[in-house]
Amino acid sequence: MSFYAIELPYRTDAAHYYAALADLPWAVWLDSGGMARYDILTAAPQRTLVLHDAVVRNDPFAVLRSALGEQVAPVENVPFAGGALGYWGYDLGCRMHALPHIARDAGHAPDMAPDMAMGIYDWAVVLDHQKQAAHLVSHQRFAETAELLPQILSRLKNHPVLPADDFRVHGKITSNFTPDSYARAFVAVQNYLQAGDCYQINLAQRFSAGASGDALGAYMTMRSLSPAPYSAFLNLPQVKILCASPERFLRVQNGNAETRPIKGTRPRSSDALQDRQLADELRNSPKDRAENLMIVDLLRNDLGKSCVPGSVYVPHLFEVESFANVHHLVSTVEGKLAQGRDALDVLRDCFPGGSVTGAPKLRAMQIIEQLEPHRRGIYCGAIGYVGFDGNMDSNIVIRTLVYADDEVHCWAGGGIVADSDVAAEYQETLDKASAMLKLLRHYGGES
């Protein structure tokens, strides 16, 4: 069928459009946070792909490719008009690499935290903040979509309001590391580094609390406290994901691949002069630049598996980007896909992202599995889409709350290298978690 596009009133904030869809199954929102070009919203997928305890014998990326079917032509200025959208959990990568199961599960019953949860959607609401335009769009791959689109359009025109915020956090916010146990894990990391097992290992702690109520209100508060360009709210039956990620993982557009790893962090300061000094200190730090370069080299290698030899390059190295609570050191790596390779090949070759594992990746993941008390689950995986047109965009799942089974979890970590300082690394995890912990306290959590 022909491409469908109906213009909608443009809104600078997509929240009310999401409210119109929020009660539909698998309602999802890829949120620009006011810092990127597009917001993408959709719901009511034609089918869902939910993968538990994924084993390599059923390649999840091949399953997804089959569900997407034959590619359609891309439409200019429409990033997504249907395809697969959802998340790939970090533990999907653990199972693909056949890592031993040492850490405990991510804190949920097995059916609460699938390794992969993707909907196959046939329409989307796209807000283009650059062109100040909004459209309901669809490739109309399925016959049922013709009946669904008028219903969606009616919802979008009804000016719904956001539901009352009844989210609550109960009791004490706990971590799976104490300062002492973190220090012991840090020493173990240093021993592995000195032995030559790795150049860098990412070590994360997890914060947890009891919770109840609707997560949408909490997400709206979260995005006001910590706006980020690769944010997302996924309201799935198994789990609610509230993500304020600053980091793009992979984008594939018209055969070109891009990744933008973050490695290097400083806290923001309310004093303008001190804030500039912190940014300059990060920009010129030999340690942070060396850490960033390690991950850039890892990702150049990962991209090279699916790209034309010689096409992978680094257009931007060691750029400082500033967010609500932290400054980050960001680089960009790009490449051109080789003949016969597609976005899902790139995703499989690069998954999980090197900025949240360390280098070399597989050995770092083995050490993480040994030293972190719980499996990461969704954290450090990716949220994103692969369109019917073959284009893809995804984030790294950091700065994220995962809410299921009356519990809410969030994580923060950092890359440890040979000259790292334990107190500084521990503090960096607290700096990265600051907005999430503030949110949990806002809703009643006790420090």
The predicted-structure confidence for 51-65, as pLDDT tens digits, reads as follows 886 554 678 899 999
Distance CA 126, CA 134 (A): 6
pLDDT for 108 beyond 50: no
Instruction: Map out the domains of the chain as residue ranges.
Output: 4-442
pLDDT for 199 beyond 60: yes
Q: Please, what is the average pLDDT of the chain?
A: 94
pLDDT for 99 beyond 80: no
Active site residue 263: yes
Q: Average pLDDT of 366-376? A: 94
The pTM of this model reads 0.95
Distance CA 286, CA 230 (A): 28
Active site residue 247: yes
Q: Which tops the pLDDT comparison, 83 or 100? A: 83
pLDDT, position 102: 74
- Bridge partner list, 383: 87
pLDDT for 221 beyond 50: yes
Count Cβ atoms within 10 A of the Cβ of residue 317 and give its class: 0-12 exposed, 13-18 middle, 19 or more buried. Answer: middle
Per the CB < 8 A criterion, the answer to whether 218 and 165 are in contact is yes
User: Could you tell me the pLDDT band of residue 159, with boundaries at 50, 70 and 90?
Assistant: confident
**Residue in 247, 369, 372, 425 annotated catalytic:** 247
Other beta carbons within 10 angstroms of residue 252's beta carbon come to: 25
The predicted-structure confidence for 4-33, as pLDDT tens digits, reads as follows 999 999 999 999 999 999 999 999 999 999
pLDDT, position 260: 96
pLDDT for 382 beyond 90: yes
Q: Average pLDDT of 126-148? A: 97
pLDDT, position 284: 96
What dotted CATH number matches 4-442? 3.60.120.10
Which among 335, 339, 381, 337 has a CA at the least distance from the CA of 357? 381
**Residue in 263, 291, 369, 428 annotated catalytic:** 263
The predicted-structure confidence for 296-313, as pLDDT tens digits, reads as follows 999 999 999 999 999 999
pLDDT for 119 beyond 70: yes
